[in-house]
């Protein structure tokens, strides 16, 4: 019963580390540090299965899903778990155990930060 340790919805440590990292890619050349941080996020989405799992979580009702909701991508359960772990490590998902299941949720600030990277600066077009 006491596993209801309320989700720190914004996971300050994990998310903060990756989210507001970099200017738009078109603004100025990235430094090595910025590139390291941003590449980690892009790499996490650079796998078809991970991308499908991510969009399954992101588009699921309420913006969260448990493994039981999203295993429909044609790979084994351990593989699903492996990919979800990678997405968590990249700061793209957060998770919370509730009873039997672990629920995954998209970290909107990271998604927004990645979107910002891909903004086309007016000067560059």
Residues that bind a copy of itself (CB under 8 A): 6, 25-32, 35-36, 38-40, 42-52, 54-56, 58-59, 63, 70, 72-74, 106, 108, 111-112, 114-115, 118-121, 124-125
Closer by beta carbon to a copy of itself, 66 or else 106: 106
Q: Which residues share a beta bridge with 103?
A: 66, 96
Whichever of 68 and 99 has its CB closer to a copy of itself, that residue is 68
Contact between 104 and 65 under an 8 Å Cβ cutoff? The reply is: yes
68 versus 120: smaller Cβ distance to a copy of itself: 120
Minimum CB separation from a copy of itself for residue 107, in Å?
Answer: 11
Cα–Cα distance for residue pair 67/80, rounded to 1 Å = 8
Burial class (CB in 10 A: 0-12, 13-18, 19+), 104: buried
Nearest approach in angstroms of CB 63 to a copy of itself is: 5
Nearer to a copy of itself, 20 or 99 (CB): 20
Distance of alpha carbon 17 from alpha carbon 4, whole angstroms: 26
For residues 29 and 116, what is the distance between their CA atoms, to the nearest angstrom?
15
């Amino acid at each position: 019963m006491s596993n209801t340790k309320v989700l720190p919805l914004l996971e300050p440590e994990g998310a903060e580390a990756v989210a507001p990292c970099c200017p738009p890619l078109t603004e100025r050349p990235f430094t090595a540090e910025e590139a390291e941080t941003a590449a980690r996020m892009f790499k996490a989405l650079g796998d078809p299965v991970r991308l499908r799992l991510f969009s399954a979580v992101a588009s699921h009702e309420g913006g969260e899903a448990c493994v039981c909701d999203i295993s429909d991508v044609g790979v084994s359960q351990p593989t699903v778990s492996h990919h979800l772990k990678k997405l968590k490590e990249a700061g793209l998902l957060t998770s919370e155990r509730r009873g039997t299941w672990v629920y995954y949720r998209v970290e909107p600030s990271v998604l927004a930060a990645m979107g910002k990277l891909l903004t086309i600066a007016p000067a560059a077009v």
